[in-house]
Amino acid sequence: TSDNALGEKLDYKIIGIDAGAGSMVKTEEVMNLYGLDKWQLVEGSDAAMTAALIKAYEAKEPIIITGWTPHWMFKKMDLKYLEDPKNGFGGAEQIHTIVRKGLKEDQPAAYQFLDKFWWEPADMESVMVQMIDGKDPEVAAAEWVKNNEAKVAKWVEGIQPVQKEKLTLAYVAWDSEIASSHVVEHVLEQKLGYEVELSQVQTGPMWAGVAIGDVDGMVAAWLPSTDTSYLKKFGGQIEDLGPNLDGTKIGLVVPSYMNISSIEDFQ
């Protein structure tokens, strides 16, 4: 059948990202849910996944990846989510800001800003598109802040700046989180007087770092669905400041030219 033809063509491989990412955990669950026993989820990274996607797209070849919104890939290519009739991926969610316990007392200025930090998917996407078009994340973030002064002013309104206090934020090298973390870093440094260290780690260490208190916070928790396993594990040891962005989504993504539309369309 044509189903097997796709599997054979793709060597029964779904192109994933870094091991331990919430979406990798979810995709394994989804593959079980839909009985994709022959298929394998390939570990890699956001960068390796998008490189494979671009290569396939330019050759009009099929490919199945683990994707998410907001992501620049939807601005640069014509892509679609495969329908998920069993709702294995859990539908719409938010990105939450998570800080260590005690930050409120130790660094009230940073805490208040992190609590107020909130933007839209289109904001995040515009930073991501600048990055993928060749700008350093620092530059793309600084330009976004410059072009969105009114929004940023509300985040820091009434907050008393500090004198070169140090702050550490963790993030994972997903383009969405590279964008948000650099914007937050820029505001903390330029508007509130902090010296920020951005620590790039994997998902597990990002959560553990905040739980242990090695790290002051992060703006990269996809909840309630994607990172649910991490919230279960560390929820009692962290402070959840709630969403900083609404309207995210994860799922299996394919180029629009592929003639499958649902996860049920292949075996």
Contacts with ligand PBE, residue ranges (CB under 6 A): 17, 21-23, 68, 174, 176-177, 222, 226-227, 250
Q: How many CB atoms lie within 10 A of CB 48?
A: 15
Task: Please report how close the Cβ of residue 210 comes to ligand PBE at its closest, in angstroms.
Answer: 15
Task: Please report how close the Cβ of residue 163 comes to ligand PBE at its closest, in angstroms.
Answer: 34
Query: Which of 207, 266 has the CB closer to ligand PBE?
Result: 207
Query: Which of 42, 162 has the CB closer to ligand PBE?
Result: 42
Task: Please report how close the Cβ of residue 122 comes to ligand PBE at its closest, in angstroms.
Answer: 17
Query: Which of 178, 188 has the CB closer to ligand PBE?
Result: 178
Q: Buried b vs exposed e over 110-120: b needs ≥16 C-beta within 10 Å?
A: bbbbbbbbebe
Query: Which of 49, 192 has the CB closer to ligand PBE?
Result: 49
> What Rg do the C-alpha atoms of the chain give, in angstroms?
19
What is the rounded CA–CA span in Å between residue 10 and residue 64? 8
Task: Please report how close the Cβ of residue 201 comes to ligand PBE at its closest, in angstroms.
Answer: 13
Query: Which of 119, 194 has the CB closer to ligand PBE?
Result: 119
Strand, helix or coil at 252?
A: strand
Query: Which of 90, 255 has the CB closer to ligand PBE?
Result: 90
What is the rounded CA–CA span in Å between residue 179 and residue 182? 5
Task: Please report how close the Cβ of residue 89 comes to ligand PBE at its closest, in angstroms.
Answer: 10
Q: Tell which residue, 34, 181, 18, has the closest CA to residue 114.
A: 181
What are residue 102's phi and psi, to 5 degrees? 95, -10
Task: Please report how close the Cβ of residue 145 comes to ligand PBE at its closest, in angstroms.
Answer: 22
Q: CA dihedral defined by 55, 58, 63, 68, rounded to 10 degrees?
A: 80
Beta bridge partners of 248: 93
Query: Distances in Å between the alpha carbon of 198 and those of 195, 225, 246?
Result: 10, 25, 23
- Give the type of residue at 186: H
Task: Please report how close the Cβ of residue 77 comes to ligand PBE at its closest, in angstroms.
Answer: 17
Q: Which helix (H) or strand (E) holds 212?
A: helix 203-212
Query: Which of 156, 238 has the CB closer to ligand PBE?
Result: 238
